[in-house]
Amino acid sequence: MTDLVREQSSPTLVRHPTSGVSHGVGAGMQPWRTYLTPALFVAPGFLIYTVFVLCPMVQAVLMSVFDYKVVAGAVSTFIGATNYIRAFHDEHLWLSLSNSGIYMLFTVPPQIALGLGVALLLQHKSPAQPFFRVLYYLPVVTSWVVVTLLFKYLFADRGLINYLLGLQVSWLSDRWTAMVAICALGVWKGIGWSMMIFIAALQGVPNSLIEAAKIDGAGPWQRFWSVTIPAIWPTMAFITIMLVIGGLNVFTSVQAMTDGAPGGSTDVVLTYMYRTTFSFLDFGYGSTIAVLLTLLVFALSAIQLRVFRNEATA
């Protein structure tokens, strides 16, 4: 997946002339001098990342091939792929994965569309602009516990949703209707996040291009598709990838809303992983689930980057 690196998420230009261009690499320079500067920029952060994230990550992967005994000093036996074989035969894992997938599919597009919509509406300078920005950002900062409690109210049997729609639905008593409530919460809470990044990206759309399009007689809709969208395309890639990662990693809202009820049917991968790890204390299998999810997310990110790059150059 070399495109992960080659494809850039530049927010301002479609074709970034600087991509991959190195500086100070004169023909006659010593290689070590050439690499010293980038090394000094990258090394401090990467060192911290390696020690505090990467090493624990390697250990988490190792846990998955052991019958891992969590207690300090206890001996864990190597069991190879046993946990992975178990995972492929674990129906509940597949159910959880399908729920995570459904959540991702139904929350990512609305978050992008609505986030971009709000960002566009907030583009015009006005005294109300910062005020609206704060209002739309509020759900992002409000704690999960609080908003989940509130969404439980909204979707309760005698809640506001049933009242407004004139329905008698037990939303949280069934897998599919409960997923509706969980997805609605996810979209609502996530709009402000994508809005923020879109706002930053829209600042970078060259005014000259928009003016040029205006002179060419392009209407607002045309300008949006032919100027704005291409200009923020890399940001689109960044947001989509991050939201897909986040969607498949959905946890807190599901745990607080249903925690899998009824009968485990609304479990997502991470609620299942959390229970396996910290309630059943099966650390080896919990790690296996985490590793499999990470691999899936990694593969999906690679595919998305390829798609976004092809679209951009098409």
Partner 1 sequence: MSKRVSPADALRLVTLAIGALVMITPFLYMVSTSFKAQQYVLKIPPQFIPDPATLSNYERVLVRGDFGQYFLNSLFVAVTATAIAVLLSAMMAYGFARYRFPGREWLFRILLLGLMIPALMLIVPQFVLAKWLGLIDTLWGLIVFYVAGNLALNTFLLRGFFQALPQELDDAMQIDGANAWRRFIGLALPLARPALATATIFTFLATWDEYAWALTSITSPENKTLPIAVALLQGPRGTQWGLVFAASIIAILPVIAVFLIFQRHFVQGLTAGAVKG
Partner 2 sequence: MKFPTTRRGALLSMVAGAAVMLALPALAQDVTITFWGSYGNGGNSTQQDALNNTLIPAFEAAHPGIKVQYVDVPYDSLLQKLTTSAAGGELPDLVRADLGWVPQFAKLGVLVPLSDAMADFQELADKTYPGVLATNLYKGKYYGLPLDTNTRVLVTSQEALDAAGLSAPPATFDELKASAGKLKEAGISVFADGGLGAWNIMPWIWSGGGDITDPELTKSTGYLDSAQNVATIQMLVDLYNAGQIPNLIIGNQGATGTSDGLPSAEYANIFDGPWMAGIWKDQYPDFTPIYASVPAGPGGSVSVVGGEDIVVTASSPNQEAALEFVRFTQSELFQVEMVKTGQMTVLPAYAEQQNAIAPFYATFAEQLKTAKNRLAISSASKVDGILNTELTAAFKGEVSVQDALTKAAGQIDALLAEENS
Q: Is 152 in the site for partner 2 (CB under 8 A)?
A: yes
Please, what is the minimum distance in Å from the beta carbon of residue 274 to partner 2?
Answer: 8
**Binding string to partner 1 for residues 169 to 198, with x set by CB under 8 A, is what?**
-------------------x--xxx--xx-
Q: Coil, strand, or helix at residue 78? A: strand
Dist. CA 222–CA 206, nearest whole Å = 16
Please, what is the minimum distance in Å from the beta carbon of residue 125 to partner 1?
Answer: 7
Q: Coil, strand, or helix at residue 9? A: coil
Half-sphere exposure of 33 (CA within 13 A, CB side): 7
Query: Left (φ > 0), alpha (ψ -120 to 50) or beta: where does 64 sit?
Result: alpha
Residue type, position 212, single letter: A
Q: Is 2 in the site for partner 1 (CB under 8 A)?
A: yes
Query: Which residues from 156-215 bind partner 2, rule CB under 8 A?
Result: 156-159, 170-173, 178
Dist. CA 272–CA 255, nearest whole Å = 10
Question: Which residue of 57, 161, 218, 312 would you call a contact of partner 1, by CB under 8 A?
Answer: 57
Query: Which residues from 42-71 bind partner 2, rule CB under 8 A?
Result: 69-71
- Span interacting with partner 2, options 26-34, 107-115, 153-161, 295-303, rule CB under 8 A: 153-161
DSSP string for 177-200: HHHHHHHHHHHHHHHHHHHHHHHH
Q: Is 35 in the site for partner 1 (CB under 8 A)?
A: yes
Q: Is 12 in the site for partner 1 (CB under 8 A)?
A: yes
Residue 138 interacting entry, from partner 1, partner 2, none, C-beta within 5 to 8 Å by type:
partner 1
C-alpha 96, offset from chain centre: 18
C-alpha 125, offset from chain centre: 30
Please, what is the minimum distance in Å from the beta carbon of residue 189 to partner 2?
Answer: 18
Query: Which residues from 69-108 bind partner 2, rule CB under 8 A?
Result: 69-74
Q: Is 9 in the site for partner 1 (CB under 8 A)?
A: yes
Q: Is 274 in the site for partner 1 (CB under 8 A)?
A: yes
Residue 58, classified by CB atoms within 10 Å of its CB into exposed (0-12), middle (13-18) or buried (19+), is exposed
Q: Is 226 in the site for partner 2 (CB under 8 A)?
A: no
- Span interacting with partner 1, options 9-17, 80-88, 164-172, 174-182, rule CB under 8 A: 9-17
Smaller CB separation from partner 1, 179 or 297: 297
Q: Is 11 in the site for partner 1 (CB under 8 A)?
A: yes
Q: How far apart are the first and last CA of the chain?
A: 20
Residue 15 interacting entry, from partner 1, partner 2, none, C-beta within 5 to 8 Å by type:
none
Exposure b/e, 274-307, CB count within 10 A at least 16 = b:
bbbbeeeebbbbbbbbbbbbbeebeeebbebbee
Size of the site for partner 1 (CB under 8 A): 113
C-alpha 8, offset from chain centre: 17
Secondary structure element (H or E) that encloses residue 67, with its range = strand 66-67
Dist. CA 129–CA 141, nearest whole Å = 19
Query: Which residues from 227-286 bind partner 2, rule CB under 8 A?
Result: 257-258, 261-264, 275, 278-281
Query: Which residues from 99-118 bind partner 1, rule CB under 8 A?
Result: 118
Q: Is 33 in the site for partner 1 (CB under 8 A)?
A: no
Q: Is 16 in the site for partner 1 (CB under 8 A)?
A: yes
- Which residues contact partner 2 (rule: CB under 8 A)? 69-74, 152, 155-159, 170-173, 178, 257-258, 261-264, 275, 278-281
